[in-house]
């Protein structure tokens, strides 16, 4: 692949929106059998450019157990940047529950973040319950902290303030307020149905 395209340069141009259709086709072809460390950059190029004609190819990497960071990139991008959460909801639910090959929780963190963004504009009691469940463990694990941040986004907090405070006491106060607000929302949503 490196002989055909300068991936670093194409990644840069993908941010500017100046990658040609022919280059995207070459990237997609290379993605069918990626070499060495090219996978993440190849996925990034197609995702960043919004190359919808390659959505199925990209989605095939959601379950790519050999590289959980690449799987996370695909799931998160398709669900948030591409606005395709509804199409990949079942995959998000699987990732929220945890998949055996996601040892570093890359895919789970991506699913948590995507769920928070989705719940900011949509209602889904089951997903909200899952986020609250993860968030309640914020004292014990990093996934819980990510879930609190995702809940903050789901509740409409701007990304700039939906960040877990570093101070332990301040963090606990903030997390408990967010979790309480999320539980109140959950109660309202349950009552509405």
Is residue 56 very low, low, confident or very high in pLDDT (cuts 50, 70, 90)? very high
* Statement: residue 2 has pLDDT above 50: no
The whole-number pLDDT of residue 115 equals 98
Helix, strand, coil percentages, rounded to 5, for the chain: 70, 0, 30
Is residue 50 very low, low, confident or very high in pLDDT (cuts 50, 70, 90)? very high
Residues written for the chain:
193
- 3-class SS letters over 71-120: HHHHHHHHHHHCCCHHHHHHHHHHHHHCCCCCCCCHHHHHHHHHHHHHHH
Is residue 105 left, alpha or beta, with left meaning phi > 0 and alpha meaning psi from -120 to 50?
left
Is residue 11 very low, low, confident or very high in pLDDT (cuts 50, 70, 90)? very high
Q: What percent of the chain has pLDDT over 90?
A: 91
- Cβ partners under 8 Å of residue 19, min gap 6: 10, 13, 27, 45, 49
Q: What is the mean pLDDT of residues 116-141?
A: 96
Which pTM was predicted? 0.93
* Domain map (residue ranges) of the chain: 88-192
The whole-number pLDDT of residue 143 equals 96
Whole-angstrom CA distances from 52 to 39, 103, 115, 140 are: 18, 30, 21, 40
Is residue 5 very low, low, confident or very high in pLDDT (cuts 50, 70, 90)? confident
Which residue reads 């303030």 in tokens?
Answer: 161
Please write the tens of the pLDDT for every residue from 146-160.
999 999 999 999 999
């Amino acid at each position: 692949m490196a002989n055909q395209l300068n991936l670093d340069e194409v990644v840069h141009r993908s941010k500017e929106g100046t990658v040609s259709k022919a280059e995207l086709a070459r990237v997609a072809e290379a993605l069918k059998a990626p070499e060495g460390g090219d996978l993440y950059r190849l996925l990034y190029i197609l995702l960043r450019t919004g190359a919808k004609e390659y959505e199925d190819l990209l989605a095939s990497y959601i379950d790519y157990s050999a590289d959980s960071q690449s799987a996370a990139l695909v799931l998160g991008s398709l669900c948030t940047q591409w606005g395709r959460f509804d199409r990949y909801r079942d995959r998000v639910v699987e990732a929220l529950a945890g998949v055996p090959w996601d040892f570093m929780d890359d895919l789970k963190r991506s699913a948590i973040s995507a769920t928070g963004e989705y719940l900011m504009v949509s209602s889904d009691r089951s997903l909200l319950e899952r986020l609250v469940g993860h968030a309640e463990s914020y004292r014990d694990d990093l996934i819980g902290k990510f879930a609190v941040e995702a809940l903050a986004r789901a509740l409409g907090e701007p990304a700039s303030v939906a960040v877990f405070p570093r101070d332990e006491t301040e963090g606990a106060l903030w997390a408990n307020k967010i979790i309480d607000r999320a539980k109140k929302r959950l109660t309202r949503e349950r009552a509405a149905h």
